[in-house]
Amino acid sequence: MKKQLLTVSFCALTLAGTHAAQADVKTPTASGQAMAWQCAPCHGTNGQELQEAMPPLAGMSVEQFTEAMIAYREGTRPAVIMDRVARGFTDEEIKAMAEWFVKQPMKPWEETSLKESLAAQKAGSTGGQE
């Protein structure tokens, strides 16, 4: 009986220790480039769409992008779809996307070469890691 109690106690302590260790593990955040790929259907490859209805994200300042996404997420900025999209991102993810978009050159999507588009697609599907 004492041996069984000791075994059960040891297993319980082991499981508790494993759970505590797992709680400290932080889930890695995808790269800003990988997350930004989700914006491409509306905002163009690399955020370079130049249509009136869909503003370009390429070259947008970190502050402007971050403020807009947080306002969409919190429901303080009117939106048709962006409020729902923004709710899927944490502050850290929004910042990572903002830092990626600010580095993208502003140019019409039509001038984006097939090679650039395929490279962006490949980077998006691999999380920006080769």
Contacts of 115 (CB under 8 A, 6+ apart): none
pLDDT in tens, 81-104: 999 999 999 999 999 999 999 999
Give pairs for 44-50: CB < 8 Å, separation 24+. Answer: 44/109, 44/112, 45/109, 45/112, 45/116, 45/117, 45/120, 46/104, 46/112, 46/116, 46/120, 47/101, 47/104, 48/104, 48/105, 48/106, 48/107, 48/108, 48/109, 48/112, 49/109, 50/108, 50/109
pLDDT in tens, 15-40: 455 455 555 666 666 788 888 888 98
Domains and CATH numbers, the chain: 30-104 (1.10.760.10)
pLDDT top residue among 101 and 127: 101
- Residues 60 and 127 sit within 8 Å (Cβ to Cβ): no
Residue type, 39: C
pLDDT in tens, 108-121: 656 666 666 666 66
- Whole-prediction pTM: 0.62
| Distance (Å, whole) CA 86 – CA 70 | 7
